Structure 1
Amino acid sequence: MYKKIIILLVCLIAGMSFLGLLKLKNNSKNNSKITIQFSSWGSESEIKILKPILMNFEKDNPNINVDFMHIPQNYFPKIHLLFASNTAPDVIFMNNQYLPIYANAGVLEDLSELNSEFCYDKFYTKSLETLSWQGKIYAVPRDISNLVVFYNKDLFKKYNVPYPKPDWTYYDFVKTAKELTHEPNVFGVSFEEEPLFYLPYLTSFGLNSLPKFEDSQTQIGLNKYADLRNKYKVAPRKEDSASATMAQMFLQGKLGMQVSGRWLVPKYREEANFDWDVVEFPKGSAGSIVPMDGSGWAISKSSKHKKEAIELVKYLSSKQSSQEFTKSGLIVPARVDVAESKVFLDGNKPKNAQVFLTEIETSKPTVVGVNYREILDDLKTKTEYMFNK
């Protein structure tokens, strides 16, 4: 009898232990988090905006942990190595210039059929086109990047030069630059040898393909740009700017106009001690056609947590998150409902912020390819003499 009681107690204890372990295992399963990795470049100010958004995402999705990988420099070489070593992040911040390399290699998830998740109708169609490859969407856009003409209104007043009008032409632009130029202290317009800053001259004079130096259509636009420095003498040479950037020269009151992008707005709002505004890029023979770039969030095809990755991209590209990215003045949002709201058109400088949106109508997504970076590097090498005769 005594032995039977002992055996019964042992069985009871064993059964309770088993149930306890099972419960513990189930609780552990319920409390476990899935970690997804997310990479991005970005300045300190951009990361200050991004981190709270990621924290809120984790609060709203307690089962997902985001391992944020900030790569402030040499971003794409490092991303390339991560893909090569099969350790790519689940979510990758991507731009249109590098996207074809990864999409063509088959390492990005095709997001074309996920309209129900991302509501593509909320975005500018052209912003989706910038982040597509061979007709398929590979990233959900955060922003649009196009170039406009910043101008120093105080210098225009000082030299009695009429403010530029929206429908002005390249020749109006040159005339205005001549009237603003008072060497050696003031030049009419900026001049930068990075292709980004002179591609609008090429496309506005008819280029609609990759900018290869030898192409006759490319040469037309390049000559129009080089003329600003070599023929009309309205743009600074290297010795005129010394080590100063075009942005620094603009802030110093040494440039009447500067061709650049939205990313300068926060800096000019904070540092410019003169009145300034923006206007559309002037029309060439083909019109005012500014190449449109874009950046957004892609998902690695090798991700083991695609469901969670989709949830993160949905959150990052939501209206609420887009508003947070936009408030700083740093970007032109790719979402129509944010771009055409008071969040973007907030009444702060530039007063004519609508220009960034107006240009979307006439712009064209930048023509890119797998070898786009090599083409630009070749262009930089071959224009060195042309720009510095």
Structure 2
Amino acid sequence: MSRYRWLGLVMVLAMLAAACGSEVSTDEDAEDTTADTAETADDAAEEDAAEEEPAEEAPVEEEPADDDGASDGEVALRWRTRPDNQAEIDVYSEVSETVDGEWDGVTLAYEPGGSETSSYQDVLRTEIAAGTAPDVFWIPGTDVADFATRGLILDLRELAESSDAYAGDDAYYSQVMDLLTVSPDAGDNSSLWGLPRDVSAFALYLNMDLIEEAGAADPRELAASGEWDWDAFREVADAVAALDPQINGFGMNNWWANPGYWINAAGGSFFTDDRTGCAVNTDESIQGLEFMTGLYQDGIAVPYGEDAEPPFLAGQVGMFMNGRWATPGTRASATFDWDVVKLPDGPGGPSNWLFWGAYVVNANTEHPEEAFELVTRLTDGAVQGTIAELGANIPSRIDDPAVIETFLGFTPPENNQAFVDGISENPVAEGPLWQGDWPAFDSALAPQIEALVAGDTSLEDFQATACDALDATFQ
């Protein structure tokens, strides 16, 4: 120990002794100090040499910190999702802590997104431009093309090819990967813009108490016998709505996927086959919209534009169309006997949406390799199982049948097979528009649907004019 360190120790002891009123200890320390200062010149030289030793050994003292992977050497990654509720926040936080604990050299920070609307994506765009966005984040499937073509997210293909952690494109639903791998420049599927966190599909959430009270047929039994079509659906909805003026037979919310189901199930589509133009004006699309608008104009549905979930949870709606994400809220709030059933088959046959969202990597991340590995860890089968247990999502991995088997056991609802059927019976994958502007398309279509439902626009006028504004959103 150097002379200066001894002096410092002596001074500390002296002050402690003074505080305690112990003059003996102070004198002893002073004597030690005097003895130190009375050393010979040779001793002083030796001490000077000793004082220089710590400086020479400083690199050796720092080595253990480097070897231990201290915070200075760790890679810090931030990641974000858009949870619907506190329960989801808690699950993702737990996942983040688990992955963090298993991953040497990397520290994770999970950030729940603050909005369930499209403003979530707007915030991300702003943060990326400002350099404050997280390294990895989740976005809806419809927004992947917009983020990719703006240069906001990385093409991960090269990272995937050099990674031992990547399970391969075939580990996920092909309909999703076909859209996630589009290369606008090459005109093929050689890119990789992210990995799907999960998938989902619509189902009809059923108030079995109302359906039984109305004397209507059980939709689950009709589906099992192959008789669950639009006519059977309408009969159940009419019967429930007839119970009381405050009761509605059906409800769904006002966003693109809901009218999209009726269009698709009639054999129509939002887009042309090559997804480069509008197709909501075809006879098939109009047939679907005609059936849908009849539910509202005949007064058997929750008014279009009103949130149909609260009245359903309050026991005032017989059938509520929503995705798997509505399950946690129904588990927590429904006080009636409830279950789910697949969507009814339309004139075009079975139909549904294959909803999905992807974990993507910020184009400006300082740690692309680690960020991609985080994406692979977050889409691992075990992690997906943990999240699926909450009830909000369906695992996106198809390479392990046990993952789906585990999902089927997460009850209620008892009829989880309805969601599996939804993603296997002719679903239309929620997809980005690589040759158009999806946010603009959605914004242009929504008010036209609202006007149609309200009776402000006729089906004939809609068919004649709707695509004028929508075709303008394609490049």
After TM superposition, the score normalised by the length of structure 2 is 0.73
Of 229, 245, 263, 1:202 maps to 263
Q: Report 1:262-277 matches (<5 A).
A: 262-277=324-339
- Which secondary structure does the structure 2 equivalent of 1:294 belong to? strand
AA partner of residue 142 (structure 1): R
**Distance in 2 between residues matched to 1:85 and 1:133, nearest whole Å:** 27
Tell me the alpha carbon deviations over residues 24-61 of structure 1, each in whole angstroms, 9 at most, x when there is no partner. 16634742222122122212111101112211222222
Q: Offset of 1:22 from its aligned partner? A: 4.8
Residue segments in structure 2 that go unaligned for 5+ positions in a row = 1-39, 184-188, 272-276, 456-475
Q: Report 1:187-336 matches (<5 A).
A: 187-210=248-271, 212=278, 215-216=281-282, 217-230=284-297, 232-237=298-303, 245-336=307-398
Contact 2:352 2:427 in 1 (8 A): yes
The alignment status of 1:356 with 2:419, answered yes or no, reads yes
Q: 1:383/1:301 Cα in 2 relative to 1: closer, same or farther (>3 Å)?
A: same
- Which secondary structure does the structure 1 equivalent of 2:152 belong to? coil
**Distance in 2 between residues matched to 1:247 and 1:339, nearest whole Å:** 32
AA partner of residue 277 (structure 1): D
- Which secondary structure does the structure 1 equivalent of 2:142 belong to? coil
Tell me the alpha carbon deviations over residues 240-279 of structure 1, each in whole angstroms, 9 at most, x when there is no partner. x9x7x31222222221111111111122222222222211
- Which secondary structure does the structure 2 equivalent of 1:65 belong to? strand
**Percent same amino acid at aligned positions?**
20
The alignment status of 1:93 with 2:138, answered yes or no, reads yes
The alignment status of 1:47 with 2:47, answered yes or no, reads no
Q: 1:118 is matched with which residue? A: 166
**Distance in 2 between residues matched to 1:257 and 1:158, nearest whole Å:** 14
AA partner of residue 34 (structure 1): V
Q: Report 1:1-20 matches (<5 A).
A: 14=52, 17-20=55-58
The alignment status of 1:21 with 2:69, answered yes or no, reads no
Tell me the alpha carbon deviations over residues 280-316 of structure 1, each in whole angstroms, 9 at most, x when there is no partner. 1112222122122212311123221122212322221
Contact 2:179 2:432 in 1 (8 A): no
The alignment status of 1:82 with 2:127, answered yes or no, reads yes
The alignment status of 1:152 with 2:207, answered yes or no, reads yes
Higher relative contact order (CA 8 A, sep 6+): 1
- Which secondary structure does the structure 1 equivalent of 2:319 belong to? strand
Q: 1:68/1:193 Cα in 2 relative to 1: closer, same or farther (>3 Å)?
A: closer
Q: Report 1:148-187 matches (<5 A).
A: 148-164=203-219, 165-166=222-223, 167=226, 168-182=228-242, 183-187=244-248
**Distance in 2 between residues matched to 1:23 and 1:95, nearest whole Å:** 50
The alignment status of 1:365 with 2:414, answered yes or no, reads no
Q: Offset of 1:14 from its aligned partner? A: 4.8
Contact 1:339 1:345 in 2 (8 A): no
Q: 1:255/1:213 Cα in 2 relative to 1: closer, same or farther (>3 Å)?
A: farther
- Which secondary structure does the structure 2 equivalent of 1:88 belong to? coil
Q: 1:72 is matched with which residue? A: 114
Contact 2:270 2:280 in 1 (8 A): no
- Which secondary structure does the structure 2 equivalent of 1:343 belong to? helix
**Distance in 1 between residues matched to 2:82 and 2:342, nearest whole Å:** 29
The alignment status of 1:141 with 2:182, answered yes or no, reads no
Q: 1:373/1:218 Cα in 2 relative to 1: closer, same or farther (>3 Å)?
A: farther
**Distance in 1 between residues matched to 2:355 and 2:270, nearest whole Å:** 15
Q: Offset of 1:81 from its aligned partner? A: 0.6
Q: 1:345/1:126 Cα in 2 relative to 1: closer, same or farther (>3 Å)?
A: same
Per mean C-alpha deviation after superposition, the further-off stretch among 123-132 and 285-294 is: 123-132
AA partner of residue 282 (structure 1): P
**Distance in 2 between residues matched to 1:191 and 1:304, nearest whole Å:** 43
Tell me the alpha carbon deviations over residues 160-196 of structure 1, each in whole angstroms, 9 at most, x when there is no partner. 2111222322222222222222141222211433222
**Distance in 1 between residues matched to 2:151 and 2:324, nearest whole Å:** 32
Q: Offset of 1:223 from its aligned partner? A: 2.0
**Distance in 2 between residues matched to 1:88 and 1:339, nearest whole Å:** 35
Q: 1:89/1:192 Cα in 2 relative to 1: closer, same or farther (>3 Å)?
A: closer
Q: 1:91/1:213 Cα in 2 relative to 1: closer, same or farther (>3 Å)?
A: same
Residue segments in structure 1 that go unaligned for 5+ positions in a row = none
Q: 1:44/1:33 Cα in 2 relative to 1: closer, same or farther (>3 Å)?
A: same
Q: 1:128/1:214 Cα in 2 relative to 1: closer, same or farther (>3 Å)?
A: closer
**Distance in 2 between residues matched to 1:119 and 1:207, nearest whole Å:** 35
What stretches of structure 1 move > 4 A for 4+ residues in a row?
2-16, 211-214, 338-342
AA partner of residue 94 (structure 2): P
After TM superposition, the score normalised by the length of structure 1 is 0.88
Of 146, 150, 162, 1:105 maps to 150
**Distance in 2 between residues matched to 1:348 and 1:61, nearest whole Å:** 32
